[in-house]
Amino acid sequence: MLRSLAIPARAIASRSVMVRNVVGFEDFFGKKPGGNNKRPTEDPKKPNKGTGGSGGSKPPDFQMNTPTIMLTAAATYMLWKATAPPENSRELTWQSFRSQLMDKGMVDRLDVLNRSRVRVHLRPDAGSLGVSPNTVFYFSIGSVDSFEHNLEEAQNQLGIPSDERIPVAYRDEVSLLNTLLHFAPTLLIIGVLFYMTKRGPGGAQGGIFGVGKSKAKMFNQETDVKISFKDVAGADEAKEEIMEFVKFLKNPAMYERLGATIPKGAILSGPPGTGKTLLAKATAGEAGVPFFSVSGSEFVEMFVGVGPSRVRDLFATAKKNAPCIIFVDEIDAIGKARGKGGQMGGNDERESTLNQLLVEMDGFDSNEHVVVLAGTNRPDVLDPALMRPGRFDRHISIDRPDISGRAQIFRVHLKPIKTSEDVEKLSKKLAALTPGFAGADIHNVCNEAALIAARYHKDEVTTSDFEQAIERVIAGLEKKSRVLSPEEKKTVAYHEAGHAVAGWYLQYADPLLKVSIIPRGTAALGYAQYLPKDQYLFSTKQLADRMCMTLGGRVSEQIFFDTITTGASDDLQKVTKIAYAQVTAYGMNSKVGPLSFHDPSQEQQFQKPYSEQTGALIDEEARKIVSAAYERTVELLSGKKDEVEKVANLLLEKEVLTREDMENLLGKRPFKEVNSVYDEYVRPKRIEAPPPFPEEKGENDVN
């Protein structure tokens, strides 16, 4: 599928290949916190806070004391003595018993044990025959009947009178070892249940398996967290608000003297990768107070009542360690609006957990100095009771960084990269080449560049490595194994040339940065990369130009090949979304009027918020908008057929064209570009030759 990297309006739901809806910053390379991160000295009058309780602290190790060691050793010795065979015992066979003992008249009596073994008792005068009378002999028998028959036959052969025959007694003896082994499974289960019950906080409160204990982890700022606020870039406003919480916890008297109280909590919201968790890590590194981190999904288990129990345990531990900070990541796992989270039922456990969280947050005393931070990607689905002041007093939105923010993030990530490039200039250039990138994407670009340089055994990372890494992140891995036929390659070239030429001659289209016909990713046979500026408002003319540029590939195929292919499906999806957004969300259609039917909270509703007649009108008007853009694009490219052919032929020759190549072919764009980001950050500035030095005049020179 041919994919164009045109950047649609930010408010429009469409996503281009280049600008993904992931913004902000993510994990940065850790650095040691500053020197002012020491924990305050504990007050000896206060109870020991330590790492006790459940919280996120590690469970205390089992310590062996002297009485425990002695008791264990004594029990082990007694068990061994009870189960070990006597030292003076000796095993025999029937033949040995007959020849060594019975034939010599040393046997006093016999005991048949459990109908399987025979114990031999010797006569007191057996010592005179060289055998210790204290020795106990044993031998095994197959059956009692066989033993009795053999014994009677042996005594008959020895001529022993009937009144002097060896007495035989039958006994049933129980082995202590066998008894313990018989009851071992039951005893083991009882022991495990007893241990698990004692392990829970307050006995039964922790649950029989400890599932009611909070799984929050308590971070040690000196060992666990190595990120500080200086490692956070691209979100200065959010960082400033978070730092205020840290300042309050470190120096509450500065605020309390004016009558201020610390906010109970703050919601960090924004698209994935904007740095919500990173800000929390930096807060943990800078706060100098205990920091508990837990995921919203960790409150939910298969057992009923576990979620509320873990919430209670978490806040009980936080109170013991106050002042402290609790960070709940992905709070929307338990904080969804009640009645909306699961339309098919089964919400009781999640709602019970949410209710317990509401009670715990609202029941806090402000003087306890416990702050709750939470991160979410979907603030619109959270329960209003959770978002109200008194629980989460501040709502901190972290949006994607602009070009200056991206440059700051690149500077952070370029520090560990080995390169001889000017970091300041390189960061600005890369920021201009990555519009809409999140901090996670920026970190990925820097890492990919280092991997590419290492793949070719380079000594340092160069600018070309970063450019390849950006293409890798934007359009996917280059598919060298995907060989296109000459006809397909020509179609792709004219398709991408149509995009490039249409955008070149449309005033409000984004400037072209690069166009390629090298297959990448899973479906893209070619792509065009543009350089949009940071813009927040779009007019109907601007949207129309973007639609025409997006349709340029499809129109080019129709003009030059008199046919269409499936390669424009992604372009058609983008155009359709823009058209419907103008009609249903932005009120830009005269027939439908200034109405907006877009409600993000009602995305999963089964009924449309308008009638069937209105729906048919919306479809008709959206089709008219797309048709008008298509006809305009046909008219534009029909008049620029020579330019399209030039670009397509050069694409077939070089496979990749840059903006300089386009300017050499078509000249500069016929529109004045004010404050061009490309000219400022990307285009290499020409160094003019310095003026010549003035010639030295001799003594005879005339003025």
- The closest of 14, 15, 21, 11 to 586, measured between CA atoms, is 11
Please calculate the CA angle 455-492-8 and round it to the nearest 5 degrees: 85
Q: How many CA atoms lie within 13 A of 117 on its CB side?
A: 13
The rounded distance, in Å, linking the Cα atoms of 495 and 493 is 5
Amino acid at 545: D
Please answer whether residues 274 and 235 qualify as being in contact, where contact means their C-beta atoms are separated by less than 8 angstroms.
yes
| CB 267 within 8 Å of CB 396 | yes
Are the C-beta atoms of residues 294 and 314 closer than 8 Å to each other? yes
| Calpha distance 311→358 (Å, rounded) | 10
**Contact criterion met (CB below 8 Å) for 559 and 638:** yes
Collapsed DSSP state (helix, strand, coil) of residue 375: strand
Q: Are 585 and 365 in contact (CB under 8 A)?
A: no
Print burial letters for 260-287: b (CB count within 10 Å at least 16), e (below 16).
eebbbbbbbbbbebbbbbbbbbbbbbbb
Number of neighbouring beta carbons within 10 Å of residue 113: 16
CA distance 525 to 489: 9
**Whether 6 contacts 546, CB under 8 Å:** yes
Assigned token pair, 481: 């194994």
Cα–Cα distance between 201 and 309 in angstroms, integer? 11
Query: Angle between the 569-584 and 540-561 helix axes, to the nearest 10 degrees?
Result: 150
| 452/467 Cα distance (integer angstroms) | 11
Query: Could you tell me whether strands 136-140 and 89-92 are parallel, antiparallel, or unpaired per DSSP bridges?
Result: parallel
What is the rounded distance in angstroms from the CA atom of residue 648 to the CA atom of residue 490? 8
**Nearest Cα to 374, choosing from 420, 336, 327?**
327
CB hemisphere CA count around 328 (13 angstroms): 27
Strand segments (E) across 198-271: 217-219, 265-269
Q: Spot the catalytic one: 301, 471, 496, 621.
A: 496
**Cα gap 505→509, rounded to integer Å:** 8
HSE value, Cβ hemisphere, 13 Å, CA-based, for 492: 27
Q: How many residues does the chain have?
A: 703
Q: What is the gyration radius of the CA atoms in the chain, in angstroms?
A: 42
**344: exposed, middle or buried (C-beta count within 10 Å: 0-12, 13-18, 19+)?**
exposed
- Tell me, yes or no, if 653 is annotated catalytic: no
Residue with tokens 């100098």: 288
Sheet (strand 370-376) strand order: 217-219, 291-295, 324-329, 370-376, 265-269, 394-397
Please list the active-site residues: 496
